[in-house]
Amino acid sequence: MMKAYIKHISYYLPENKFTNQDIENLFPEWNNDKIISKIGVKSRRIAGKDQKVSDMAIEAIQNLCSEFQINKSEIDYLIICTQSPDYFLPATACIVQNKAGLPTSCGAIDINQGCSGYIYGLTLAKGLIISKVAKNVVLVTSEMYSKHIHPLDKGNRSIFGDAATATLISDNGEYEIGEFSLGGDGSGCENLMIKNGGMQNDKTGDTSFPSDDYLFMNGPEIFKFTAKVVPDLIFGTLAKNNESLDSVDQFLFHQANTYMLKYLKKLIKIPDNKFIIDMEDYGNTVSSTIPISLKNLITNNNHKDKILIAGFGVGYSWGAVCLYKS
């Protein structure tokens, strides 16, 4: 039976750093100690004023190809996960295909999935490999939430950072992609939303705070949703893969904030040494959090035989899968 593997991962971080001291300078009441205790982030990278999601995506692909000597002509499918596309149309993936120098025989598609986007992207990539539609799929996550956030929104500015990643999925590689568990519940969509700017509501140009032109997040409701859904997601994924909390070597969740992560770890009863928290230098980079942390895990030679990765959030949507060292 055909199998699909994560072969390589690279990522790109914008040059601009936005530190807790920068935030404290803008909002003196919101100091470093509060940010560390509530969110667990020291600094985050922020895209330049003229930088676009496609620019970051291209940088991530270039890093992937140069780091692992990948011939671009062999990439035959490109998936870009982003909630900050360059345009309504065309797909950002088409722009990136051209500017990154990928062949015109390469399929190119966007998905808009947010915090669970890496998991959903892997489902599509695995399907393309197993069905033999493609041999080498590059899954890019490129997120630029900073441009969705109001300048006076100290909470969300403290949480979110910008980043792009590129993952090569093929019929051979470092980690076999196991069985997925997925879910969605659109009844909670308004708890993490930008209400204006699509076809439903035009942007108003309202620059006051708060404004429906910018990102809105109902933190308490998102927390309640996560606490309700994630334990079932984890145990369901373990069951699908014939695994247990004991048999899995590492659990890597979407890096939303450290308070939530520690709560989930305790709720599910995951041992400290099996649970990754890796966001203090990046912030919440949305769909890029899991591949960044996974790349770091692999680079640091902490090779684990079995890793469970899980994403959850905006939508609501959620998903998880087990990865097996080959």
**Of 113, 160, 121, 119, nearest in space to 310 by CA:** 119
* Cα→Cα distances 82→9, 116, 124, Å: 17, 11, 15
- Same fold for the domain at 5-173 and the one at 179-325? yes
Q: What is the DSSP letter of 141?
A: E
- The domain segmentation of the chain, as residue ranges, is 5-173, 179-325
Look at the pTM and tell me if it is higher than 0.75.
Answer: yes
Q: Is the CATH code 3.40.47.10 the one for domain 5-173? A: yes
Model confidence pLDDT, tens digit, residues 300-317 = 876 689 999 999 999 999
**AA identity, residue 14:** P
Q: What pLDDT does 303 receive?
A: 65
Model confidence pLDDT, tens digit, residues 213-222 = 999 999 999 9
Q: What pLDDT does 1 receive?
A: 79
**AA identity, residue 310:** A
Q: How far apart are CA 273 and CA 323, in angstroms?
A: 18
Give me the CATH topology for the region 179-325: Peroxisomal Thiolase; Chain A, domain 1 (3.40.47)
- Would you say residue 162 has pLDDT above 90? yes
Q: Where are the alpha helices (DSSP H) in 144-218?
A: 154-159
Q: How far apart are CA 313 and CA 253, in angstroms?
A: 11
Phi and psi at residue 41, in whole multiples of 5°? Answer: -120, 135
- Would you say residue 185 has pLDDT above 90? yes
Q: How far apart are CA 268 and CA 253, in angstroms?
A: 12
The residues annotated as belonging to the active site are 115, 254, 284
DSSP string spanning 15-72? SEEEEHHHHHHH-TTS-HHHHHHHT--SEEEE--TT--HHHHHHHHHHHHHHHTT--G
Q: How far apart are CA 142 and CA 15, in angstroms?
A: 15
Q: What pLDDT does 195 receive?
A: 96
DSSP count for the chain of H helices, then E strands: 9, 13
Beta bridge mates, 12: 164
User: Contact at 8 Å (CB) between 60 and 11?
Assistant: yes
